[in-house]
Amino acid sequence: MSDVTVHTWEPNSNSGKPLFALAEKGVEFEHAYVDIVKFEQHMPDYLALNPAGTVPTMVHGDRIFVESTPMCEYVDAAFPGPKLVPDDPAARYRMREWALRTDIAAAALSVLGWHMFLGPMVRAMDPAELERLIARIPTKERRIAWSTAAHATFTEQQLADARARVGAYVAELDAQLAMTPWLVGDDYTLADTVTFANFYALPMTVPEYANRENAPHYMDWLTRIYARPATLKLFRTSRSLGQRALQIAADLGVVT
């Protein structure tokens, strides 16, 4: 039995970062599924691990980690396998810079994700039960976020701004990938891991930006990561959003 357990949802966004990192390293781990659509991240047992009620949480022996991007660096340093953090200080800086830029841009993407995917999922619940579950979320910020998504209260301007910001980031990625095969250069790094975890579904979410005409280098990068064995293995074991990812993989010609 593995001494690594990742308490998280789907291989998606922050939830997926350590799953992809561990899979790339070839580390055996337990995936303790936390169904955020059922608000399981706010159950007492989970809050005992992570009082903020966020996902993911990784447990390695007696150590607990709750921040998704630094968690991936720990994975690379703590376990054998392909190196995902460059030795060269300048390259390591660029890796961290890209990871930070991705995390900032992902805030806009999360608006679209809440609106298009999570919101409809939670609105299928009994309204009274939904309100009870939202009320017990431990932080005000997360209560507001979940309430906004659950009640579809994003304005058209908010949605348009989010789409434009995501589209601008696609252009940034494409410009870099026109110069180098991976975000930091010739080697796949955690910059690619965390960016893919957040932005793997853009051909479905913002097809007006994420397509071969407007962003050919991003699309090629996306295809190559989809084709990595670790990527497909994770999506095939997913319970829900993995089906969306596998459809994109099929559209990219990675799977049939």
Q: What's the pLDDT tens digit per position in 234-256? A: 999 898 888 889 999 999 999 87
- pLDDT, mean of residues 61-77: 97
Task: Decide which of 135 and 119 is more confident.
Answer: 135
Tell me the CATH class for 89-251. Answer: mainly alpha
pLDDT at 98 over 80: yes
Q: Quick check: 54 pLDDT over 70?
A: yes
Long-range Cβ contacts of 47-51 (<8 Å, 24+ apart): 47/138, 49/7, 50/7, 51/138
For the segment 136-166, what is each residue's pLDDT rounded down to a tens digit?
888 788 788 777 767 767 889 999 999 999 9
Residue 131 has pLDDT above 90, yes or no: no
**Long-range CB pairs of 117-123, under 8 A, 24+ apart, other chains included:** 117/241, 118/36, 118/37, 118/149, 119/149, 119/150, 119/152, 121/37, 122/37, 122/146, 122/149, 122/150, 123/150, 123/151, 123/152
55, 67 in Cβ contact below 8 A? no
**E strands, 21-139, where?**
30-33, 57-60, 63-65
For residue 251, how many other CB atoms are within 10 A of its CB?
A: 13
Beta-bridged to residue 58, according to DSSP, are 6, 65
pLDDT of residue 194: 98
Report the percent of the chain where pLDDT is more than 90.
75
State the Cα–Cα distance between residues 85 and 94, nearest whole angstrom: 10
Residue with more model confidence, 50 or 240: 50
CA pair distance 95, 84, nearest whole angstrom: 10
At position 199, the amino acid (one-letter code) is: F
| pLDDT tens-digit series, residues 172-189 | 999 999 999 999 999 999
Q: What is the reported pLDDT for 118?
A: 67
Query: Mean pLDDT in the chain?
Result: 92
Note whether 15 and 54 are within 8 A (CB): no
* Res 167: pLDDT: 97
- What Å distances lie between residue 31 and 5, 6, 14, CA to CA? 6, 5, 14
CATH class belonging to 4-78: alpha beta
Of the two residues 146 and 28, the one the predictor is more confident about is 28
Least confident stretch, 64-68, 71-75, 127-131: 127-131
Question: Whole-prediction pTM value?
Answer: 0.90
Token couple for 141: 């910020």
Look-up: residue for tokens 């992902």?
106
- The half-sphere exposure of 63 on its side-chain side, counting CA atoms within 13 A, is 9
Break the chain into its structural domains and give their ranges: 4-78, 89-251
pLDDT digits (tens, 9 = 90+) for 207-218: 999 999 999 999
